[in-house]
Amino acid sequence: MPLVLDEQYSSWARREHALRFGMWTFLASEILLFGGLFTLYAGYRTMYPAAFEEAIRHNTVAYGTVNTYILLTSSFTVALTVWAVRHRRARWAPWLLLATALQGMAFLVLKGFEYREHIKEGALPGPFYHWAELPTFGANRFYTLYWVATGLHALHVTAGIGVLLWMMVRAARRAYTAERHVMLEMGTLYWHLVDVVWIFLWPLLYLS
Amino acid sequence: MSATSQQPLPVLAPEPDYLRAESGVWSWLGTKDHKRIALMFYVSVLLSLGLGGLFALALRTELLTPERTVMDAITYNRMFTLHGVVMVWLFLIPSIPTVFGNFVLPIMLGARDLAFPRLNLASFYLYVLGAVVTLGSLVAGGVDTGWTFYPPYANSTPLAVEPVVIGIFILGMSSIFTAINFIVTVHTLRAEGMTWMRMPLFVWAIYGTSIIMLLATPVLGLALLLVGLDHGLHLGLFDPGVGGDPVLFQHLFWFYSHPAVYIMILPAMGVISEVVPTFAQRRPSSYTLIAISTLGIAFVGFLTWGHHMFVAGMSEFDAGVFGILSMFVAIFSAIKVFTWTASLYRGSIHFNTPLLYFFGFLFLFTFGGMTGVAVATQSLDVHWHDTYFVVAHFHFIMVGGSLTAFLAAAHYWFPKMFGRMYSERMGLLSATAVFIGFNLTFLPQFLLGNAGMPRRYYSYPPEYQWLNVLSTGGAWLLGASLLVSLGHLVISLKWGEKAGPNPWHSRSFEWLTSSPPIQHNFPETPRLDYSPYDYTLSEEEAAARAAARGQEGPVPIGALETATLPSRTSPTDARLPRE
Amino acid sequence: MAKRHISGKAYVLTYVALLVLATLTLVLSWVFKRSGLGGGAASLAVAIGIAAVKAFLVLWFFMHLAEQRFANRLVVLVSVTLLGILIALTATDVATRHTFPPAPRPTPSAGFYER
């Protein structure tokens, strides 16, 4: 479909700036949304340092780490999409987007396996918690936050996969050109944010 | 939007105004015009005000006597919760930004619309959806937690917390969308020649408000969702019975809800900053100070949330820090108050309704603000916390400040929005009545609070009755005078005198276009390279300057389409800049 | 607006740096655990510090802040600052409580009320 400049913008550059800047402001609100959870984490960790440490030690480092590498790589491939479109290799774009979406799915599948383990051992949030190994309030707090934080993150991953697949269809129809691809940039920004959140969740939930 | 041909434009009939440009229900419900969306918000926000006001009157009526008057205790509890929720999230937060911000902000910037018109419409429908869900909880039984949803009670109340919480979450999304739209518009759609320091002060205020909305609302959304989870699944995130900490909820809640006070008052300050120069016919005594203090309030507003929690079990260290930080807000507010007052000095003062509201605002806001400094003092707060003193304090800011400014804006921009004048006599009369009614309602509550009457109580000792009677009488007077205001504005819609483009002889930019504005705001994008408060320019000079565009001025909008339409605009509009 | 686009090489270097930093985090956390300092303040500070560097790399290169206007950077700066304030003032509250138990009172044991 032909791209018509919306009447409120005086130039294409203006429109591009507005859309990109609008996306950043939206991401700022996302940062604060996750920020609330990080605040709770900080508060409860200050309250129950020992229990948190124990609980972290019982989380499977492998799951978190593999997922970290997956998300970092997906960030790379989605950044390459922008590079490809800018350098007149637009035919690569749908494939790169597909690769990114598949990595997102792989992340969710691994997360699912991990959840299954937690359910099996009873490391569940709130009143469902019945893990005999760590029967403390602190560990309960940790796992409640763990489920809420990773759950919210997984929701964002799912939404991100949707965005990626949508962009894949658009890219396959050559909607993004070297001159006009601000919508693609916006979509990739969202995916990167999902990655950035995980960059912080990983050490907080698995390492230290 | 077809490109126009190069021949000289045959257009002498200007575009029709935004109210008449299109007709039909769908031209409203599906509109992307910021002015029409503003009007839809206007109607919904007024409905919310009416509903919240009815709840308030019911509450005050119940408090007429020490024991049961008209309702039982649980109804009373539901009622004050809904009064708070409706007034805060359905009226005060969206009121000035979504109605007047939406309407005049793009015009003030010389833009044709907001940056994201579709997002603007989405924001409206999210507002409606959020309102329906929130009010739907009335059917599901209502909530008795108070608008603050403090756990652990909010976790264990038998009433349906979830719908209200979800409704507020949706309203929060609406707020965020509006905020994104305003921020991006201010950054990207300022007219040629308009630097940051030439923006009208109302734009600064809406900009500051939007920053707060954008960054604080998500934290509230999260906190309330967690309370919903706590209530529904008993996760106990904030339940001390299982090791949770309710004070952490209060941290998250007030990280939004304290800045939310500035979401309510900053736009009000913006309105006042427009009203004062217009009716004093001179520039504000310091543009820079007002603009900077707006950002100052927006920032410092984020650092003071802890003063709501002095007696909630927060550490003394934090209480000290928050107590001191809270005082800084008073500095910025005082800068504004003094600047407005000084702006009147040697002005040519026109005593119209908006200015009368400003005088009311000045007294009420200063009084409310000063009592705010008092309750931010820890030693005093221990005595006043959760008493009617606090209730009176924040009603002075929110009703005395925001609602008064909302009414000032409703009168000030009435001719611009609808092309008609309101009745000045009725305006002055209702403004006086609002002021008297307000003071009669809330001044006694200071005394009640100081005497120790706690807020949210259903019954009270008989000694407190005479003050409560005064307060209830005042509430009825306030309600009646608000109805009168609304009534005379509605009557003026139809029978008011026709207004010219600039009935107040203001130099601010929204008055450059016709009243009501044409669909695209300006026949041609103006060049706004002078101060909106430059009263050394005559009106004609200002208009000529706005019309003197650069060489590569944009193509006139809709020139071909409008050429075939009959002229519907009044002759006064002929003075609009046109080539 | 006419800033140069980030080069393909920069993307690759960023990616490699991210992988190296992630591995470094992993190794350091293992070292901390071995030395008995796991979960302590030092280990946490290091992990968060490295995460901040990684986040910066993603923001600056992958998210193209390097080539974009200052306004976009300002958005991130402001939101991160406010988040920092929220976390800091909340955590100091919990850390400096004296008059009240630092943690909420645990549920009393069975024999508690009989004394």
Identify the chains in contact with B, defined as 3+ C-beta pairs within 8 A.
A, C
CB distance C26–A61 less than 8 Å?
A: yes
Is C34 or B222 the better-scoring residue by pLDDT?
B222
CB distance C79–A202 less than 8 Å?
A: no
Q: For residue B90, what is the DSSP state? A: I
Q: Report the chain C residue with the minimal C-alpha distance to residue B314.
A: C93
Q: What is the pLDDT of residues A46-67, one digit of tens each?
A: 988 888 988 998 889 999 999 9
Question: Residue B17 forms beta bridges with which residues?
Answer: B518
Count of H-run helices and E-run strands, chain C: 3, 0
C13/chain B closest Cα distance in angstroms: 33
CB pairs < 8 Å spanning A and B: 117
CA distance C50 to C48: 5
Is the confidence at residue B534, as pLDDT, over 60? Answer: yes
- Predicted confidence band of residue C104 (pLDDT cuts 50, 70, 90): low
Question: Residue B454 forms beta bridges with which residues?
Answer: B387
Look-up: residue for tokens 């702006």? B343
CA distance B193 to B529: 4
A70 to each of A203, C19, C92, how far by Cα in Å?
Answer: 15, 10, 35
CB distance B215–C106 less than 8 Å?
A: no
Interface of C to B at Cβ within 8 Å reads: 71, 78-79, 82, 85-86, 89-90, 92-100, 103-107
Considering the entire predicted model, what is its pTM?
A: 0.92
Say which of C18, C90, C95 has its CB closest to residue A72.
C18
Across B435-450, average pLDDT = 96
Is B423 or C112 the better-scoring residue by pLDDT?
B423
Most confident of B211-220, B373-382, C97-106: B211-220
What are the chain C neighbours of B322 within 8 Å (beta carbons)? 89
Across B195-215, average pLDDT = 96
Identify the chains in contact with C, defined as 3+ C-beta pairs within 8 A.
A, B
Is the confidence at residue A134, as pLDDT, over 90? Answer: no
CB distance C92–B318 less than 8 Å?
A: yes
Across A171-187, average pLDDT = 92
Across B181-195, average pLDDT = 94
- Predicted confidence band of residue A137 (pLDDT cuts 50, 70, 90): confident
How much is the pLDDT for C105?
54
Work out the angle between the directed axes of helices B73-85 and B34-62 (0-180°, nearest 10).
150
State the burial class of residue B129 (Cβ atoms within 10 Å of its Cβ: 0-12, 13-18, 19+).
Answer: middle
How much is the pLDDT for A70?
97
Task: Assess contact for B249 and B151: CB atoms under 8 A.
Answer: yes
Across B312-453, where does the E strand assignment appear? none
A112/chain C closest Cα distance in angstroms: 22
Look-up: residue for tokens 């029709």? B16
Work out the mean pLDDT of chain B and round it to a whole number.
89
Is B90 or A126 the better-scoring residue by pLDDT?
B90
Across B188-205, average pLDDT = 94
Work out the angle between the directed axes of helices B353-375 and B424-451 (0-180°, nearest 10).
10
Query: What ipTM score was computed for the predicted complex, to two decimals?
Result: 0.94
What are the chain C neighbours of B215 within 8 Å (beta carbons)? 78-79, 82
What are the chain A neighbours of C3 within 8 Å (beta carbons)? none
Across B141-146, average pLDDT = 88
CA distance A90 to B256: 44
CA distance B487 to C4: 60
Return the percentage of chain C with pLDDT > 70, whole number: 80
Is C37 or B248 the better-scoring residue by pLDDT?
B248
How much is the pLDDT for C4?
75
Lowest mean pLDDT among B406-410, B433-437, C38-42, C70-74: C38-42
Across A180-203, average pLDDT = 95
CB distance A31–C6 less than 8 Å?
A: no
- Predicted confidence band of residue C3 (pLDDT cuts 50, 70, 90): low
How much is the pLDDT for B523?
86
Across A97-126, average pLDDT = 94
Return the percentage of chain B with pLDDT > 90, whole number: 78
C111/chain A closest Cα distance in angstroms: 19
Q: What is the pLDDT of residues B92-112, one digit of tens each?
A: 999 999 999 999 999 999 999
Q: What is the pLDDT of residues B410-435, one digit of tens each?
A: 999 999 999 999 999 999 999 999 99
Q: What is the pLDDT of residues C49-64, one digit of tens each?
A: 999 999 999 999 999 9
Q: C114: which residues sit within 8 A by CB, 6+ positions away?
A: none
With CA atoms as reference, report the closest residue to A205 among A12, A61, A23, A9. Answer: A61
State the burial class of residue B210 (Cβ atoms within 10 Å of its Cβ: 0-12, 13-18, 19+).
Answer: buried
CA distance B376 to B549: 51
Which tokens sit at B199?
């923006």
Across B513-540, average pLDDT = 90
Q: What is the pLDDT of residues C12-27, one digit of tens each?
A: 999 999 999 999 999 9
Q: For residue B97, what is the DSSP state? A: I
Q: What is the pLDDT of residues B317-358, one digit of tens each?
A: 999 999 999 999 999 999 999 999 999 998 999 999 999 999
Phi first, then psi, for residue B498 (nearest 5°) are -65, 135
Tell me, letter by letter, the H, E, C secondary structure of A102-132: HHHHHHHHHHHHHHHHHHHHCCCCHHHCCCC
Residue A133: strand, helix, or coil: coil
Q: What is the pLDDT of residues A152-172, one digit of tens each?
A: 999 999 999 999 999 999 999
Residue A202: strand, helix, or coil: helix
Say which of B1, B184, B235 has its CB closest to residue A7.
B1
- Predicted confidence band of residue B561 (pLDDT cuts 50, 70, 90): very low
Across B249-268, average pLDDT = 95
Residue B484: strand, helix, or coil: helix
How much is the pLDDT for C38?
61
CB distance B525–A28 less than 8 Å?
A: no
- Predicted confidence band of residue B568 (pLDDT cuts 50, 70, 90): very low
Mutate to test the interface with C, among B210, B211, B262, B314 (most CBs of C within 10 A): B314
List all residues of chain C from 46 to 75 with a beta carbon under 8 Å from chain A.
46-48, 50-51, 54-55, 58-59, 61-64, 68-69, 71-72, 75
- Predicted confidence band of residue B310 (pLDDT cuts 50, 70, 90): very high
CB distance B244–C104 less than 8 Å?
A: yes
Mutate to test the interface with B, among C73, C75, C89 (most CBs of B within 10 A): C89
CB distance C11–A83 less than 8 Å?
A: yes
Task: Assess contact for A139 and A55: CB atoms under 8 A.
Answer: yes
Question: Residue B387 forms beta bridges with which residues?
Answer: B454
